[in-house]
Amino acid sequence: MRLSDADRDQAMNALGHALAEGRLQIDEFDDRCAAVAQAQYQRDLDQVFVDIPFTQQATGGAVEKYYSESQVQRAREAAKKPRLGTSILTSLAGMIAFPGFVALAFEAGSTGTAMLFGGLAMLSAFVVPAIWIALYVMQIGPDSWHRPSPAQLERQRRKEIRAAEAGRRAEQKELTRQQWAERRAQAAELSGDAMNMAREQLNKWKNR
């Protein structure tokens, strides 16, 4: 029987219980989580839990999920969008700078105080959204500021499981294609050998 996403989730949660009980080290937990994500059949999970119990959550209870540090880091990196943030900042700077320069050009004959206030207004109009983009889009700052939420971690986990499953299907498809190509080549070779044998036998009969 092939495993489902729910089966893999349950296995990862069981690994989390083993980690919390001190049965696994952090690096072992990461390695086994990766093995569970790649698991395809129940026998693959049996190898992961060969030396630790498979603790299952009681029916109807709240499921407490556990995530490895590498999963947290991958979810954090997936949430960062530096290119998008840079693009938005560049566009924002252009949108603010052009009308600002036009306004300053009209105020060229005004007092220095008016020009100063105009420049500060332009700067404040850029700085506030720039800070928001840097923090929430580009996620600049200490990692503690941007720790992924459980929902983000769960989405990242399921994304990795789907990617692993897609990779397995692609490998299986390529393996099947290669096997069929080898079989066709073998069949063609056997057919050629059979034809040669038939010709040799026919020639022998003709020469009698």
- 98 — pLDDT class (breaks 50, 70, 90): very low
Angstrom distance (rounded) from CA 122 to CA 116? 10
Q: Is the pTM of this model over 0.85?
A: no
Looking at per-residue confidence, does 150 or 11 come out higher? 11
Provide φ and ψ at 59, rounded to 5°. -60, 135
pLDDT(15) > 70: yes
Residue 119 token pair: 């420049």
Phi/psi region, residue 141 (left: phi>0; alpha: psi -120 to 50; beta: rest), is left
The pLDDT assigned to 101 comes to 46
Angstrom distance (rounded) from CA 64 to CA 154? 12
Average pLDDT, the chain: 67
Angstrom distance (rounded) from CA 153 to CA 173? 30
Select, from the ranges 66-75, 97-106, 180-189, 194-203, the one with the highest average predicted confidence (pLDDT). Answer: 180-189
| CB contact set of 103 (below 8 Å; sequence gap of 6+) | 118
Residues 141-155, mean pLDDT to the nearest whole number: 60
pLDDT tens sequence across 117-139: 555 555 555 565 666 565 555 55
Find the helix packing angle between 150-207 and 5-20, rounded to 10°. Answer: 120
- Domain positions in the chain: 5-49, 69-145, 149-207
In percent, how much of the chain has pLDDT > 90? Answer: 0
Angstrom distance (rounded) from CA 29 to CA 47? 14
Contact 35, 3 (CB under 8 A): no
| CB contact set of 67 (below 8 Å; sequence gap of 6+) | 16, 75, 153, 157
| CB contact set of 85 (below 8 Å; sequence gap of 6+) | 133, 134, 137, 138
Residue 23 token pair: 């049965």
By CB neighbour count within 10 A (0-12 exposed, 13-18 middle, 19+ buried), where does 76 fall? Answer: middle
* Residue 112 amino acid letter: G
| CB contact set of 98 (below 8 Å; sequence gap of 6+) | none
Helix H or strand E segment including 44:
helix 42-48
